[in-house]
Structure 1
Amino acid sequence: MIRPTQASGGAPVDYRAVMRDGHWLAHRYDPGADAIRFLRLSREDHARATFITDEYLPVGRPALALHRSEVMASAAEPARLHLVLHSAFCCSTLVARALDVPGVATTLKEPVLLNDIVGCRRQGMDPERLAPLLRDALIVLARPLQPGEAVVVKPSNVVNGLAPAMMAMRTDIHALILHAPLRVFLASVARKGMWGRLWVRELFAGLHAEGLVQMGFEPGDYIKQTDLQIAAVGWLAQQALFVRMAARFGDQRIRTLDSEHLLRQPAAAMSAIATLFGLKIDVAAVVAGPAFTTSSKTGDTFGADDRAREQREGLSLHKDEVDKVAIWAEAVAAAAGIPLALPAPLIAG
């Protein structure tokens, strides 16, 4: 089916060809025009980008703005799709990089299309419109760079509130849920300074708006809490969501892993992740590869020892604040019935 597109000045576009080519990333959603914006990216573009957000993507790549109804009318059978969900600062980007293996899987690191749908939800889009939009997004994202590959999506944790709906819509989806232990998470936030503290407040605001913060506090209590207390509340809210998801979908579809087990047992963890997602990967090569040995942000050499040193320094510098907030958060968790360790662990130990 040939249709014009505004993005190319009226030139004809073969919708079917676009939908069969995963190099055309479904990048953004325009609710006013009910259009999906596609951006053409190579596997190398994906690999170089920390996340596939405009901040990290190269400028000047070909783009198409296509009406959603026309896009979906031309959609092919979606590829196998799996999720790497996370509560931030827990090596989820490392896992996404490790799973991007040509011929096996394409990974999408924080696609903004899903963030845009979260924005539609928070702005009050009718659920009867939102559900088909999310279903369509899962279809257009499940287009690998190479035929036969699975697609592994690592959403931003802003998207976590939509994760149960995604799992319900596609019963073939399996999900790995990653989290950092509470003290490790708090130290990571503190180490990032003002920007880390602002980020956790933004995260909290989103979780609260979606009704995911159920800790027994009065609304006015939160303004009295410190940045790290707000960070802990956000961590606990996500933890509670993950517990509910594990109970709802079962350990055949959802498994959980914390960052410390991943880093202590990388081969066992990657082997178990590959089994969960049905991927045939060379685990030894993956563990020895750039995902585990370089920084996802700079590309510099950065391995498990460097991560451990960074954690120690962060904990040492902010130990008093982290310890006090952790003790407080553990009491909040106990009162709210939220476990600090998630069920359905991926690996033992």
Structure 2
Amino acid sequence: MTLTLADLFASPDHYLHSFDGDAAVFVPMDRAAYHRSIFLDARISPAAEGAMRVPVAALANAVPAAAPTAWIMHVAHCGSTLLARALDDADANLVLREPQALRQIAFAPEDPRLALTASMLSKRYRADRPTIVKGNVPTNFLLPRIAAMASAAPVILLHLSLRDYLLAILRSDNHRTWLRAVTTQLAGQIAFWTGQPEGAASPASDAERAAALWLAQMRLYAEAAAIMPNARSLDAEQFFATPAEVLTAAAAHLAVPLSASAIAARVAGPLFATYSKNPSVAFGNAERLARRHEAERDLAPELDAAAGWIDARGSAAAAALAALAAVPLLG
């Protein structure tokens, strides 16, 4: 059977995984493959072997408008994978966790392939169940364009306080390596969203890098909340402390048909008792709190340094947090 462009745009079985030069790379998927793929980057678990390359130019001339799509945006290491997996109903909606193509174009905010990517990500198996896309840190910087394309889209803005964020992303060498890489890749955009004058020195220490990344994302979220009436703010600590309550509100906001009994079963089951990125590892909120307590002792000087960096930026952080506080998921 010969595939047409219409087929590529219509069926989630043909998944736009990534871009390679002038080609769009599609991999074969089905509902089960999406459900078991914790992430849709290099860790994807496709339905079959074999990728297909299609010229981007051929696709760009036939892009239909994206179908209504829901979003989970987050600041990293804040329970977003757990939330997205808990909302993944294998018989109903489709949840796409960290699509590689979306991340690729996030490093060039004016990349014209966003419309193509958004259209491809909006595909669904059931017309009555909107697809949910969980982004990642780079895709936060696409929020202004996403809002311009679909201001009415439901979105959850998952975040942490500065202190909790620092404790989450400065706690290991691997996390710091990630922090340095992403803040280097996004340096220009971070400078813009933190109000740094042109030519100003970039944050140097890990603590300053983390503070700058946090502030940039808080300001992005505040702007999104101001122009997207269906944006809701969620502090990750609230999710960790009251998962059933938050999951109930999140499912309602994103139109996921989860019953009270289904939510109770998920919260009491293995999903919330194992590491969301690796279900073979036992990990729950008690372990997370113990790890955070240990990190708080070790990171005290850097916590102070980061807070000082934020304080030097005046009222920007306070204004952003006030805007987010005005649109809570649970109010």
| TM-score, normalised relative to structure 1 | 0.82
Alignment correspondent of 2:293:
312
Give the Cα–Cα distance (whole angstroms) in 1 for the partners of residues 145 and 300 of structure 2. 38
Q: CA deviation at 1:89?
A: 1.3
Residues 287 and 76 of structure 1: is their aligned pair in 2 closer, same or farther, counting only changes over 3 Å?
Answer: farther
Task: Tell me the equivalent position of 1:113.
Answer: 101
Contact 2:70 2:132 in 1 (8 A): yes
Unmatched segments (≥5 aa) in structure 2: none
Tell me the CA shift for residue 261 of structure 1: 0.6
Question: How far apart in 2 are the matches of 1:174 and 1:25?
Answer: 23
Letter of the structure 2 residue corresponding to residue 116 of structure 1: Q
Deviation for aligned residue 1:191: 1.2
Residue 302 (structure 1) aligned to one of 283, 300, 314:
283
Task: Report the equivalent of 1:27.
Answer: 17
Q: Deviations over 1:104-129 (max 9, x none)?
A: 3211111011122224x26xxxx5xx
Change (3 A) 1:117 1:218: closer
Q: Stretches of 4+ moved more than 6 A in 1?
A: 72-77
Count of residue pairs the alignment pairs up:
323
Contact 1:197 1:228 in 2 (8 A): no
Residue of structure 2 equivalent to 1:150:
130
Q: RMSD of the TM alignment (CA)?
A: 2.8
Give the 3 Å change call, closer, same or farther, for CA 148–36 of structure 1 in structure 2: farther
Higher mean C-alpha displacement, 330-339 vs 110-119: 330-339
1:150-189, aligned counterparts within 5 Å? 150-189=130-169
Which letter maps to 1:257?
L
Return the alpha-carbon distance in structure 2 between the equivalents of residues 90 and 339 of structure 1.
Answer: 22
Does residue 345 in structure 1 map to residue 325 in structure 2?
no
The offset of 1:208, in angstroms, is 2.9
Alpha-carbon distance in 2 for matches of 1:90, 1:269: 14
Shift of 1:165: 0.9
Deviations 1:245-289 (A, max 9, x none): 112223xx1011111011112122112112222222123233234
Q: Report SS of the residue matched to 2:278.
A: coil
Tell me the equivalent position of 1:6. Answer: none
Percent of matched pairs sharing the same residue: 26
Query: Is 1:239 matched up with 2:218?
Result: yes
Do the aligned residues in 2 keep the contact of 1:27 with 1:112 (CA within 8 Å)? yes
Give 1:19 shift.
Answer: 3.3
8 Å contact from structure 1 (residues 214, 237) kept in 2: yes
Name the structure 1 match of 2:246. Answer: 269
Relative to 1, partners in 2 of residues 1:31 and 1:57: Cα closer, same or farther, differing over 3 Å? Answer: same
Change (3 A) 1:82 1:180: same
Comparing 282-291 and 292-301, the one that deviates more: 282-291
Maintained 8 Å contact 1:212/1:241: no
Distance 2:128 2:24 in 1: 24
Q: Secondary structure at the match of 1:291?
A: helix
Paired with 1:212 and 1:200, the residues of 2 have a C-alpha distance of 18
